[in-house]
Copies of this chain bind each other. A is one copy, B any other.
Amino acid sequence: MDVLVANNPLKAQSFLQEIKGKTPLFIATIATTETGKILGLSAAGANPDFTDFTPPADAELLLLGKCRSIQGVPITPDGIPTPALITTSALHLADIPVLVVNGGVKVRPQVPYIDVNGSPGRDIRSGDSVDNVEEVIERSTVVGEHLAKTSDYLVIGESVPGGTTTALGVLSALNVVAQGKVSSTLPANPHDLKAEVVAAGLSAAAQKFGSFRGDPIKAISAVGDPMMAAVAGLVIGASHHTPVLMAGGTQMSAVLAVINALEPKALGNLAIGTTRWVTQDQTSDICGIVTQFCDVPIIAADLDFGASKYPGLQIYETGLVKEGVGAGGASIAAMAQSSGAVDKHILLKEIERNYASLMMQTKNSTNSSK
């Protein structure tokens, strides 16, 4: 299979063996935070205010094959399409079912979703970023328990613009050294800006590095985002019954730290599934974060868009976007289901096919809106 192992090879191979030939349920967890609108932090939207629309549009793309909340598909300021394009291609190839969990969004998706009573996040510089964290965790745990019984295993992805900054916030609050280690949608990772934002948040909450150790609910409430509560609950509820592939980059390492503090037993049935662009990224260090507190394996879809005929896909090789909406985990799931018969070349063909068709829609809708 075109899957790379980034740490803990024994556990990683055992996890891969367990999901081979199996069909998961994919859960896309969406959330927004005002943190994502801080200039220079995120490329997950054509401009900062647009980040409110990226998660619902991603959810629509996964469920309908097209977006409704926006014309075309979510793009970076340079016009590079959302990684949900990779996710939807992988899920479609393997006929993997999808549900959307609304962790807390400002703009509700125009598709069905599971409501766990979350609300959108505030700027973490307030030191008071997320409401209702405990209840969202509890409701999501109930969802995870039931969904785990429906499927061989779960793949849980996220769409949260600004999410690596909130990840740095929660990791720092929980005593995990992550400065300079979280990933970015941008090739030039704005580590200093992220550190400033997190420092401001901790200071506003009258806290410092590590001072929320042992209290992940307060950590998320102060300097996190609403996705974290929902995904932590889903994983805790599900992992007693079934393996869970946490589909994301360094954002998922923050959720892991939350789970580690809430219910460490749940860690035994997990892996992080991401992309090669994250695990081989020179500007971040997902393994260096995770190994500080647990031995959950990290695996990566060995995607390579260098040979794509589309410049808009080739550019992924420069470090733009890298991951999101569970792109890496969905790719791993599609490859595992077919025991490797679906490989990175077949995946790229499907992604190119969808890229061409969606870019055509985007172009047409842009023209028609002129």
User: A residues touching B (Cβ–Cβ < 8 Å)?
Assistant: 23, 25, 63-64, 95-99, 102, 111-117, 139-140, 142-143, 145-151
Taking the full assembly, how many copies of this chain does it contain? 2
Docked pose: A139 CA to B114 CA in angstroms: 12
**Chain B neighbourhood of A147, CB < 8 A:** 97, 99, 150
Interface pair A112/B140, CB less than 8 Å apart? yes
Q: Known contacts A25-B150, A95-B149, A142-B64; decide if A114 and B111 are in contact (CB<8 Å).
A: no
User: How many whole Å from A29's CB to the nearest CB in chain B?
Assistant: 12
User: How many whole Å from A111's CB to the nearest CB in chain B?
Assistant: 6
Interface pair A112/B111, CB less than 8 Å apart? no
**Chain B neighbourhood of A145, CB < 8 A:** 97
Interface pair B146/A99, CB less than 8 Å apart? yes
Q: A63-B146, A99-B146, A112-B117 are in contact. List 6 more A-B contacts (CB 8 A).
A: A25-B150, A95-B149, A97-B145, A112-B114, A114-B114, A147-B150
Interface pair A111/B146, CB less than 8 Å apart? no
Docked pose: A25 CA to B142 CA in angstroms: 15
**Chain B neighbourhood of A95, CB < 8 A:** 149
Q: Known contacts A97-B149, A97-B150; decide if A112 and B63 are in contact (CB<8 Å).
A: no
For the complex of A and B, 6 pairs with smallest distance between CB atoms: A97-B149, A150-B150, A97-B146, A112-B139, A112-B143, A115-B115
Interface pair A139/B116, CB less than 8 Å apart? no
Select A111's contact among B63, B97, B113, B139, beta carbons within 8 Å.
B139
Select A115's contact among B23, B114, B146, beta carbons within 8 Å.
B114
User: How many whole Å from A311's CB to the nearest CB in chain B?
Assistant: 33
